[in-house]
Amino acid sequence: MSIGREPEETDLAATGEPQEWFHALAAARARQTFGKSVFVRGVVEVSNFCRENCRYCGMRRDHRDLGRYRADADELAELLVHHRPSSLTDINIQSGEDPVAARDVVLPLVRTLRRETTLGISVCLGTLSSSLTRDLLEAGASVNIIKFEIADAARYDAMEAPGTLAERTGEIRRLAAEGWRVSSGFIAGLPGQTAADALANLRLAASLPLSGCSVSPFIPGDETPLSGAESGTLDLTLNCMAAMRLMRPDWVIPAVSALNLAGPGTGYRRGLRTGANLCTINLTPERVRNDYLLYKRDRFIMNEQRILEAIASEGLEVSRASLADHLADKRGEPVLA
């Protein structure tokens, strides 16, 4: 692990010229570590059933009007084995916290992808039993994304995030010990969040056994208890990303698509200009996208063309190595042929 500069509260409030300088420093640090390479992965959402009730999320279980679905493993396998965009090296399989989908859809899909492709496989499925995470790891997934979202335990409880903060960070440690490369994430600009809270997010991330971490701006969902709240700002989100890049130069830090919601037209590219080194192409089949609230804002879906244009416009290049191989290589483990 490469340890860099400790973040400071003033970093997170930077604007104007000092902010430009700060972001350029973070981008330079990313280039020093990764060259011009940016990892490109695809994401498929396999289920929007969720047993959790996070106040900031439109998939929470109390949102009873949402049409729920689970994808078909064979249909997704056909898409990913035979019709995936050529630029992607990894796939992230994502869902609400739905152990049924994890067992019946994700596990067979991971087995098929491992048999038929050399794609790196990440999962983002919430907290699952250790027998299920072990099965997923044995089947060929290697990166587990489990976000802590909020570093303050009382605020975590108030937002009805999954379990307790201690359980969530315990799960991150358990997964890392089980052999996963773990990535986490947190939200910038949740209602009531102070600069000290934002800094605490970075410090908690630094204390965990992570290979990467995301920062997502808070975007109030229409169908959530926070629907009337202000969005998180692009400035705060990018300042957190820059501070994180300088804090952990070797972490994989994604440019999340919500950057375009916080900063229409420019947000995503500014993420790449602030030290992000991972882009995600959305591959969720169109007919189920309407059940994902975010997709009602169709123009913000990051398809292959938009991702490749953003990467090229910033003078960057698509990595030929997969994220999974990069992380395996760092641990001295064999990479896939």
Q: Which residues bind ligand SF4 (CB under 6 A)?
A: 50, 52, 54, 57, 59-60, 96-97, 126, 162
**Minimum CB distance to ligand SF4, residue 17 (Å):** 36
**Minimum CB distance to ligand SF4, residue 76 (Å):** 18
Residue type, 125: L
What's the CA gap between 87 and 85, in Å, rounded? 6
Rank residues 162 and 232 by Cβ distance to ligand SF4 and give the closer one.
Answer: 162
Rank residues 193 and 274 by Cβ distance to ligand SF4 and give the closer one.
Answer: 193
What's the CA gap between 111 and 140, in Å, rounded? 7
Residue type, 314: E
Rank residues 45 and 135 by Cβ distance to ligand SF4 and give the closer one.
Answer: 45
What's the CA gap between 21 and 10, in Å, rounded? 14
Q: Which two tokens stand for residue 64?
A: 């009873």
Strand spans (E) along 18-115: 37-47, 90-95
- Cβ neighbors of 335 (< 8 A, separation 6 or more) are 325, 328, 329
Rank residues 13 and 124 by Cβ distance to ligand SF4 and give the closer one.
Answer: 124
**Minimum CB distance to ligand SF4, residue 31 (Å):** 32
**Minimum CB distance to ligand SF4, residue 162 (Å):** 5
Closest residue by Cα to residue 251 from 169, 184, 312, 172: 184
What's the CA gap between 238 and 236, in Å, rounded? 6
**Minimum CB distance to ligand SF4, residue 122 (Å):** 16
Rank residues 50 and 258 by Cβ distance to ligand SF4 and give the closer one.
Answer: 50
